[in-house]
Amino acid sequence: MLSSVKIPIFCLGAMLVWSAPASAEEWQRPTAHGGEISRSVGKDGNVLSGSTTRTGPNGGTYTSSSKCVGGVVDRCARNYSGTGPNGQTFSGKRVSARGPFRGRSAGSFTGPNGNTVHGFRRWRR
């Protein structure tokens, strides 16, 4: 009888934790070769967003930001850019959607010479 009461109480506790209001996490640490990386992640309901910044020991930088929305079909978008130690820049973006039976992804990348490459991919689960 007591074990049958524990299960609904556990489920209620899990629902309260899972439906908690917006939360955020940030951290920063040095990298193995002398650079630094920092990350920020936040969640508001079924929307998860985050950003990453990485600085290399030779002066190169990389920045990325993303946002995902969960549901029957999970959708994510990510933008990124960087600068090499010699000042050359690159950037790109990617969007994806993943459903119960298949997924799709599309993106573009612009390199230091200004040329842009586009890509598209589909897959089955």
- Please indicate, yes or no, if residue 2 is contained in any of the structural domains: no
Q: State how far the alpha carbon of 13 is from the alpha carbons of 19, 25, 45, in Å.
A: 10, 22, 17
- Please indicate, yes or no, if residue 8 is contained in any of the structural domains: no
Boundaries of domain holding 64: 22-124
- Please indicate, yes or no, if residue 51 is contained in any of the structural domains: yes
With cut-offs at 50, 70 and 90, classify the pLDDT of residue 7: very low
- Please indicate, yes or no, if residue 11 is contained in any of the structural domains: no
**Measured between alpha carbons, how far is 84 from 90 in angstroms, rounded to an integer?**
8
Q: How many domains does the chain have?
A: 1
- Please indicate, yes or no, if residue 6 is contained in any of the structural domains: no
- Please indicate, yes or no, if residue 50 is contained in any of the structural domains: yes
- Please indicate, yes or no, if residue 15 is contained in any of the structural domains: no
Give, for 68, the enclosing helix (H) or strand (E). Answer: strand 61-69
Q: Is the pLDDT of residue 4 over 90?
A: no
Give the list of residues 6+ apart from residue 85 with CB closer than 8 angstroms, or none.
56, 58, 59, 60
With cut-offs at 50, 70 and 90, classify the pLDDT of residue 125: confident
**Measured between alpha carbons, how far is 53 from 58 in angstroms, rounded to an integer?**
15
Predicted TM-score (pTM) of this structure: 0.73
With cut-offs at 50, 70 and 90, classify the pLDDT of residue 17: very low
- Please indicate, yes or no, if residue 7 is contained in any of the structural domains: no
Please state, as a whole number, how many other Cβ atoms lie within 10 Å of the Cβ of residue 57: 12
